[in-house]
Amino acid sequence: VTEKFSHAAPELSFNFGTANGWSFLSAGLGPVRILGDKRFDTTSLNAGGGARWFTSNHLAIAFDIRLHKLAAIKEFPQTMLVSASVGVSVK
């Protein structure tokens, strides 16, 4: 079974650290679309954290781990998902 999870939400973020690297905690609320055998539109409360470290003046490595609590709808039960991302940032 393959499903596609799409989510966009404004977030409130608290950052800890310096300009060379920092950790953060954040949370947000927004719409979710899940596409698979059927399409489900619901909302998600998400919370998580991560860090970003600059390896040079202009390049950083970043990661984020986030919990998504999806609201129940008629044919879709309340669900908890975990997402993780790793990437680079340019300053």
Q: What percent of the chain has pLDDT over 90?
A: 70
| Stretch 15-24: mean pLDDT | 90
Distances, alpha carbon 90 to alpha carbons 13, 30, 37, 55, in Å: 19, 27, 38, 11
Answer for the pair 60, 53: CB distance below 8 angstroms, yes or no.
Answer: yes
Model confidence at 3, pLDDT cuts 50, 70, 90, reads confident
pLDDT tens track for 33-75: 989 888 999 999 999 999 999 999 899 999 999 999 999 998 8
Q: How far from chain centre, in Å, is Cα 76?
A: 21
Residue 18 burial (10 A CB sphere; 0-12, 13-18, 19+): exposed
